[in-house]
């Protein structure tokens, strides 16, 4: 952990962090929705060195456990690059016998924020953007039988650069958390035939119809749908790479029945296993519909931070625990807050039946207190025609945001659990909201969009989205979907399970009973608002993070602060109660 205002953070660990590590941590297949047999995981111990001048080191004096960021306890590296410095990673590998086919692909789950990759001393390519996967064809650079040396140079400027960074801060305090950098998701390789699939776009439609689209079609491309291992239907793509089919007796995907169909793709000797769900999610005339049926969303703000590993979940089981805990408490949606998770997290939401309201991570800096906090709390919302107010003064940063937005939309397009987008949260880096809402809808027209969550509403998108932590919950007339997208935030500091003795939250509670009672009172207001048209509510938050202690779980995930049965009953009442038509 890093020092922060008020003293050192106490080192904590989850039960999964205690057993994480080993020769190859997080060794599960990293891309569950586009799988091939046979892959090589490159997680594990790498050489590590930080260079202020950016030059490649002549020797490496440290080591790091990939894919944990250098700022984390699990990485063992102790620190990452400061502004202007470059972090260098190095490891060697030899391809297993029989592994090499025609092409060799090197995959990175995510590297924060920008990097250049070298193989055997030659540049393999570069990438900018800390939240999305990328792939490099390294066939020509690889020795298929001998030793290979892989090197990665990483720079991360957090809020000082043009990229997006979410809740990361060089001065963590309150709702802003320790910044991290470097390789933070799995590094892996696969070998493919010359003719191979690169991607697919899967679009479920109403009436149990599904559309498939390949970006680079090839003659003879074929597909097949399986349900629990049994063939349902099959066919071939047309010359444009398009195919579609209907499953009249198909099983609809819901939180209660999260049924997934397997989709097999075949192009010559290349066979890829995908999956999809029969699921539509729409916003119509102020209401939300899952598969054409009304649904009320009751969820939690989910930051996705871990005490021993920050952005990177320590294990697969740790991801599953958070999702299952929220589900068992009666919540049906997690609002993934200004962060994009590893693809396995979305896979677990897909198969466990947890809806995801996905935020786009924020960028730009600084966020002046007057525009970001004071005026919105007084109910004053501003136009975004002057983006400098919101930390978006520079055109370079605005263009980079658009590039990363498009990449995030493409990365998560096929995920059944992802049902809504948040474009901007509380004005952080906000600009061109109407135009960017239109762009996002062009890239993904299958999900409703919360254009401005909390405040600085530009009266677009599908949601009238409010954050209210103080006073009575209220709605104002609006034809869009009415949503309270942040509320509660009640804090309970448990010293043995907290990173700081100075807990931050919006209303302090003395014990779990008081916290449960306060949540019950809040949800009583939300139940009343449902009668007035409320369609969604998001409680802050799933777990504590560093000094912010308003989670239902402690940051080490060892204590649930509220009564589970009473919390579940509140959520079931919200989901079940019929509301009158406005």
For CA atoms 279, 135, 439, 305, the dihedral sign is: positive
Q: What is the pLDDT of residues 517-547, one digit of tens each?
A: 999 999 999 999 999 999 999 999 999 999 9
Give the Cα separation of 35 and 405 in Å (integer): 25
Same domain, 322 and 421: yes
Give the Cα separation of 209 and 213 in Å (integer): 14
Residue 414 pLDDT greater than 80, yes or no = yes
Q: What is the pLDDT of residue 582?
A: 35
In a domain, 498, yes or no: no
Q: What is the pLDDT of residues 467-480, one digit of tens each?
A: 999 888 889 899 99
In a domain, 329, yes or no: yes
Give the Cα separation of 412 and 206 in Å (integer): 20
> Exposed, middle or buried, 457 (CB in 10 Å: 0-12/13-18/19+)?
buried
Same domain, 456 and 323: yes
What are the φ and ψ backbone dihedral angles of 114, each rounded to 5 degrees?
A: -130, 150
16-20, 426-430, 533-537: segment of lowest average pLDDT: 16-20
Q: What is the pLDDT of residue 1?
A: 42
Please state, in angstroms and as integers, the Cα–Cα distance from residue 479 to each residue in 283, 298, 441, 494, following that order: 11, 20, 19, 43
In a domain, 98, yes or no: yes
Same domain, 131 and 188: yes
Going by pLDDT thresholds of 50, 70 and 90, the confidence category of residue 580 is very low
> Is the distance from CB of 382 to CB of 370 less than 8 angstroms?
no
Q: Which CATH number do you get for residue 167?
A: 2.60.120.260
> Is the distance from CB of 60 to CB of 46 less than 8 angstroms?
no
The tally of domains found in the chain comes to 3
pTM for the whole structure: 0.96
Q: What is the pLDDT of residue 516?
A: 98
5-9, 98-102, 496-500, 552-556: segment of lowest average pLDDT: 5-9
Going by pLDDT thresholds of 50, 70 and 90, the confidence category of residue 577 is low
In a domain, 72, yes or no: yes
Last residue of one domain, picked from the residues 234, 268, 302: 268
Same domain, 364 and 445: yes
Same domain, 256 and 297: no
> Is the distance from CB of 90 to CB of 139 less than 8 angstroms?
no
Structural domain range at position 164: 3-192
Give the E-state strand segments of 285-417 in sequence order.
Answer: 287-290, 293-294, 297-302, 333-336, 355-359
The dihedral over CA atoms of 281, 282, 286, 287, expressed in degrees to the nearest 10, equals -30
Same domain, 104 and 150: yes
Query: Residue 373 carries which DSSP code?
Result: I
Give the Cα separation of 555 and 539 in Å (integer): 16
Q: What is the pLDDT of residue 187?
A: 98
Pairing label, strands 209-213, 242-246: antiparallel
159-168, 449-458, 529-538, 572-581: segment of lowest average pLDDT: 572-581
Residue 165 pLDDT greater than 60, yes or no = yes
Residue 20 pLDDT greater than 90, yes or no = no
Half-sphere exposure in the Cβ direction for 519 (13 Å, CA) = 32
Please state, in angstroms and as integers, the Cα–Cα distance from residue 168 to each residue in 164, 185, 305, 339, 501, following that order: 10, 17, 10, 10, 21
Query: Residue 491 carries which DSSP code?
Result: E
Residues of the chain with pLDDT > 70, as a percent, come to: 98
Q: What is the pLDDT of residues 110-145, one digit of tens each?
A: 999 999 999 999 999 999 999 999 999 999 999 999
Q: Which CATH number do you get for residue 396?
A: 3.20.20.80
> Exposed, middle or buried, 52 (CB in 10 Å: 0-12/13-18/19+)?
exposed
Higher pLDDT, 265 or 379: 265
Same domain, 326 and 422: yes
Residue 373 pLDDT greater than 90, yes or no = no
Last residue of one domain, picked from the residues 173, 192, 211: 192
Q: What is the pLDDT of residue 379?
A: 83
Residue 26 pLDDT greater than 90, yes or no = yes
Question: How distant is the alpha carbon of residue 131 from its chain centre?
Answer: 8
- Do you find a cis peptide bond into 366, omega within 30 degrees of 0? yes
Same domain, 227 and 166: no
Average pLDDT, the chain: 95
For CA atoms 69, 453, 504, 324, the dihedral sign is: negative
Same domain, 352 and 431: yes
> Is the distance from CB of 340 to CB of 132 less than 8 angstroms?
yes
Residues of the chain with pLDDT > 90, as a percent, come to: 89
Give the Cα separation of 132 and 409 in Å (integer): 10
Give the Cα separation of 323 and 96 in Å (integer): 36
> Is the distance from CB of 384 to CB of 432 less than 8 angstroms?
yes
Under 8 Å CB-to-CB from 123, ≥6 apart: which residues? 116, 117
In a domain, 309, yes or no: yes
Last residue of one domain, picked from the residues 192, 210, 245: 192
In a domain, 466, yes or no: yes
In a domain, 515, yes or no: no
Same domain, 159 and 253: no
Q: What is the pLDDT of residues 275-308, one digit of tens each?
A: 999 999 999 999 999 999 999 999 999 999 999 9
Going by pLDDT thresholds of 50, 70 and 90, the confidence category of residue 579 is very low
Across the range 337-342, mean pLDDT stands at: 98
Question: 272 is written with which tokens?
Answer: 């890829």
In a domain, 356, yes or no: yes
Same domain, 355 and 393: yes
Same domain, 77 and 187: yes
- List the Cα angle 419/420/425 in 5-degree steps: 150
């Amino acid at each position: 952990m890093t020092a922060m205002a008020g003293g050192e953070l106490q080192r904590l660990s989850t039960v999964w962090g205690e057993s994480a590590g080993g020769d190859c941590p997080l060794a599960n297949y990293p891309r569950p929705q586009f799988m091939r047999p046979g892959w090589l995981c490159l997680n594990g111990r790498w050489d590590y060195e930080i260079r202020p001048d950016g030059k490649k080191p002549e020797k490496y004096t440290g080591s790091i456990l990939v894919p944990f960021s250098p700022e984390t306890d699990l990485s063992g590296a102790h620190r990452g690059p400061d502004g202007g410095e470059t972090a260098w990673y190095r490891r060697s590998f030899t391809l297993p016998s029989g592994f090499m086919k025609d092409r060799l692909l090197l995959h990175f789950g995510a590297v924060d924020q920008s990097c250049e990759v070298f193989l055997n001393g030659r540049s393999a390519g570069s990438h900018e953007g800390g939240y999305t996967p990328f792939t490099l064809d390294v066939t020509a650079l690889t020795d298929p039988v001998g030793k290979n040396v892989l090197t990665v140079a990483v720079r991360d400027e957090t809020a000082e650069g043009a990229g997006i960074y979410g809740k990361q801060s060089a001065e963590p305090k309150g709702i802003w958390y320790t910044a991290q950098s470097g390789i933070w998701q799995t590094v892996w390789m696969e070998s493919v035939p010359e003719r191979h699939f690169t991607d697919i776009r899967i679009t479920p439609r109403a009436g149990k119809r599904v559309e498939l689209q390949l970006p680079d079609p090839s003659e003879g491309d074929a597909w097949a749908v399986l349900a629990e291992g049994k063939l349902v239907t099959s066919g071939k793509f047309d010359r444009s790479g398009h195919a579609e089919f209907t499953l009249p007796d198909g099983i609809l995907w819901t939180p209660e029945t999260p049924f997934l169909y397997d989709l097999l793709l075949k192009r010559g000797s290349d066979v890829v296993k995908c999956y999809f769900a029969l699921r539509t999610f729409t916003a119509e005339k102020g209401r939300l519909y899952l598969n054409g049926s009304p649904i009320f969303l009751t969820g939690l703000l989910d930051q996705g931070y871990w005490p021993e590993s920050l952005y990177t979940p320590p294990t697969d089981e740790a991801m599953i625990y958070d999702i299952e805990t929220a589900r068992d408490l009666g919540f049906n949606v997690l609002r993934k807050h200004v962060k994009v998770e590893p693809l396995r997290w979305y896979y677990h939401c897909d198969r466990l039946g947890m809806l995801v309201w996905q935020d786009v991570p924020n960028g730009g800096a600084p966020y002046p207190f007057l525009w970001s906090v004071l005026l919105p709390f007084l109910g004053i919302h501003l136009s975004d025609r002057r983006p400098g107010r919101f930390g978006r003064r520079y055109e370079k940063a605005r263009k980079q945001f658009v590039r990363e937005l498009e990449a995030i939309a493409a990365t998560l397009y096929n995920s059944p659990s992802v049902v809504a987008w948040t474009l901007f949260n509380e004005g952080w880096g906000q600009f061109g909201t109407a135009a960017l809402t239109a762009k996002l809808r062009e890239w993904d027209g299958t999900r409703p969009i919360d254009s401005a969550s909390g405040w600085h509403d530009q009266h677009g998108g599908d949601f009238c989205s409010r954050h209210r932590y103080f006073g009575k919950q209220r709605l104002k007339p609006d034809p869009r979907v009415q949503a309270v997208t942040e509320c509660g935030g009640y804090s309970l500091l448990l010293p043995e399970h907290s990173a700081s003795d100075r807990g931050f939250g919006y209303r302090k509670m003395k014990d779990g009973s008081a916290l449960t009672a306060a949540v019950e009172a809040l949800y009583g207001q939300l139940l009343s608002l449902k009668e007035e048209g409320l369609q969604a509510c998001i409680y802050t938050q799933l777990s504590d993070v560093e000094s912010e202690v308003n989670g239902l779980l402690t940051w080490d995930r060892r204590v649930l602060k509220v009564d589970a049965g009473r919390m579940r009953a509140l959520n079931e009442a919200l989901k079940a109660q019929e509301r009158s038509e406005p």
